[in-house]
Structure 1
Amino acid sequence: MNRILFLLISVLTFITYGCGDSACYKKLIEVDSLTENDMTDSASKVIKTIENTYNIKDGKERAYYSLLKYQLQFRQNYINKNIHVEDSLINYSILYYSNNEDTRNLALSYYLKGRTSKNKEAIRYLKKSEFIANKTNNNSLKMRICGAISTINVDNEDYKTALTYGLKSIEYGKKVNDNETLIQFMLNLSSIYNNVGKYDSAVFFANKCIDYLDKVPPTQKASIYINVAAAIIRSDTIKAKEYALKSLEIRKSNNAYQILAKLARDRKDYAQSETYLEEALKYSPSVDWEAFIL
């Protein structure tokens, strides 16, 4: 009787353990959460601990690890700096998730593969990612996918498609708590409207970024002011100057002074333009030299 009871307990223990996630997998979930919350450095430390502590098993663990490791490399710009980097990590994830139902991770795998590919290959992977992500409620991922497709089409000068996906990225972005990425895509959309000559819409979306300033870290505010000023410099010179000056109140920069120099030059105040360009040189050797000579 005791022997039978012992066997039953052993079987139940095995079943319970088998149905749950391993310690390794639970740490990978932690990496995923940290990455999604833009805590890249912390995520990198945890994944290093995983590599040093666990024997990562093929299958579910290896696919998740490969996806998260590749995502961290992408966010840390490692892949862009090392163009010959082996992409077996993301290929493993794509193969696994294509054969094992996990819609979010498959869509994310294709998204990352698209972001690290070129031209037609990039579009192909991103469109696959979009198709799969549409089966989920993950608006954050949908926002990033649409934003990436929009950017690629800007590079290809297909502004109609870029505009369609740019607007989609904003709609998804309004549903998630990722204000920095939303601002980036609103600036991209503003730039697209500038390219197609719809300046009122360009100014509208650039100015919308200002509404989100209180929701981003203080360190980001100066660059947002500069980017908005650059986006509306042809359409609203008064606001462009105001935002460039506000950015200087937070942090001195070459870009802000160059925007002010251009605005001064456009109104034929060449002495003021030269003064701003001289200030710009204090923060970077890069200036509009033709304007400086003039």
Structure 2
Amino acid sequence: MTRAWRQRLSVEDRTELDQWWTTVSAGTPPAELELEEVARRNALEARRVYDESATLDEELHVRLQGPLEEGELPFELGQELFKPLRDSVNAATSAHVDLALAGVMAGSTILRIKATTPLPEDSQAPLIAPDAVSPSDQAVRALLDVLAEAEAEGDPRAWPAALRSKLPKLADVLYEHNLTAEFTWLASSGAIRRTQLSSRGQAFVRQLREYTEQKRTIELVGTVTGLRQAGWIVVSPERGPDVNVKIAPKTLAALRLTLWQQVHLEVEVTARVNRAGDEMTSHYQFQRALHAANGA
């Protein structure tokens, strides 16, 4: 069976499948999710009678609930929503996934978002194994796992660090427009995964930005690579990034430090730590010189 024939069959089947899915996806009770998945898997089996490598299209459906006209999406809201959604999907795993808006369903404001992967230029190139897990499937499933954790107010320290910084922006957009969102992932295998980001989940995610200040004292050993009369020392440790240490101008003058001098200092670190344990910003305050000698 040629690639062109398989693609033609896929397009013909897709129209009927999309019409069927539109009728059953809007407002479907969670108890019927298993029936939906069975129907999709049956549709896939029917395709594979003619083409063993057939798969279903991957789609992420985002059902927005709130003060919106059914089936409509204000242009400004779309601009605000798509970037943090795309960033959250890509932050869920190390793989890069391109997304495209495929349509807005009637009967409810449901966004149909597809992962776009260009086909190989060589028409004879081998197809991806039909049961292989795609990068988009991995990324979206990982995102939905985190959204489910947010709804349950789980431990955010187990989430991908990049996602902890991106997801609050998505929650902000929904919160500012008084919206909740239901996310449904339609995998190429026929599997369906659904979760939501309700007002409760949004509040939990947005609280990740809240921080507490934690103080500790450390020893800092390195080379002086910067001096500022306003009261700053730049110390370059043997390993790690440069450290800007705040110091009183009079104390700085009394130490008589010079560039490229090796120093051994005691400094107080004041760190802003968010609820997930991420250290957001740190301030270093000079306490005393444990040792300072000109480097040879």
- Higher relative contact order, chain-length normalized (CA < 8 Å, sep 6+): 2
The structure where helix makes up a greater share of residues is 1
The structure where strand makes up a greater share of residues is 2
Q: TM-score, normalised by structure 1?
A: 0.23
Q: TM-score, normalised by structure 2?
A: 0.23
- Structure with the greater alpha carbon radius of gyration: 2
